[in-house]
Amino acid sequence: MISIDFKNFNERGLKKVINAFEKQDLHIKEVVANNRPKRESGYQTKAATLHFESGQKLLLKAKANGSIFQVKLNNKAIPIKHVDDLKKAVGEVITFVKKNEPKFLKQQQTRLAKKRVQIPKPKPATTSAKKQLEQVSGALTSAKEENEALGEELQGLTEEIEDKQTTLANLRARLDEETQRSETLQAELDALKEAA
């Protein structure tokens, strides 16, 4: 007699239900059940998910009295007529699972065929230590050459500034001389005006 142990609604408690599936060549790979009660539509229920080797999954929910509350095959609810007669209910579920299996497997194949083949991107080749050293040496030589060119340019600019400062000093000296001469001439002019 098939019965559901609501107290132990897990792989151990569902052993008779699992055996009924196994006898019909519906092999179960894994049972996921946390054995925690939950209130749904005013009933205390527990849920377990049976994962078949074919890839199909069956969600089984039971009420505290051991009767079937809800059954979902691959996330789709399936109607069960004999919810209070567990043997007949399991028989109905087996029929649904078997009937759906070829369709499910075909969908799986189609889904796999549609998946694009992911070609991994080639990883960039790592540079050897010798090559890295050559690159660094090349960069250092370029930097030195640029530094020397800037030094020469700076020296040229410094000389140009010095020449301009010398020219400016000469011009200031000449301006001072011209100012002095202008003041002397002005004084002579003023003296001539007074004498006249």
Residue 112's pLDDT is 75
Lowest-pLDDT range of 11-25, 156-170, 179-193 = 156-170
Residue 124's pLDDT is 64
121 in a domain, yes or no? no
* Dihedral angle of Cα 101, 102, 108, 113, to the nearest 10 degrees: 170
Do 31 and 107 belong together in one domain?
yes
179 in a domain, yes or no? yes
Do 103 and 181 belong together in one domain?
no
181 in a domain, yes or no? yes
125 in a domain, yes or no? no
166 in a domain, yes or no? yes
Do 149 and 190 belong together in one domain?
yes
The residue among 68, 90, 111 that closes a domain is: 111
Residue 47's pLDDT is 94
Residues 6+ apart with CB under 8 A from 27: 21, 52, 53
Residue 86's pLDDT is 77
Identify which has the larger pLDDT, 163 or 127: 163
164 in a domain, yes or no? yes
Do 87 and 154 belong together in one domain?
no
CA separation for the pair 78, 18 (Å, rounded): 18
The residue among 111, 132, 156 that closes a domain is: 111
Residue 116's pLDDT is 58
116 in a domain, yes or no? no
Residue 31's pLDDT is 92
Residue 66 has pLDDT above 70, yes or no: yes
Identify which has the larger pLDDT, 12 or 66: 12
Domain limits for position 57 = 15-111
The backbone torsions φ and ψ at residue 151, rounded to the nearest 5 degrees and listed phi first, read -65, -45
Do 25 and 101 belong together in one domain?
yes
Do 103 and 38 belong together in one domain?
yes
pTM for this predicted structure? 0.53
Residue 57's pLDDT is 94
In this predicted model, what pLDDT tens digit does every residue of 118-157 receive, in sequence order? 556 666 667 788 888 888 888 888 888 888 888 788 787 7
Do 145 and 100 belong together in one domain?
no
Do 78 and 149 belong together in one domain?
no
What's the pLDDT band for 84 if we cut at 50, 70, 90? confident
The residue among 93, 111, 129 that closes a domain is: 111
Do 107 and 154 belong together in one domain?
no
Could you give the number of structural domains in the chain? 2
| Per-chain mean pLDDT for the chain | 85
Element at 40 (helix H, strand E): strand 38-40
Do 106 and 145 belong together in one domain?
no
Residue 118's pLDDT is 55
Query: How many other β-carbons are positioned within 10 Å of the β-carbon of residue 15?
Result: 13
What's the pLDDT band for 51 if we cut at 50, 70, 90? very high
Read off the amino acid at residue 171.
L
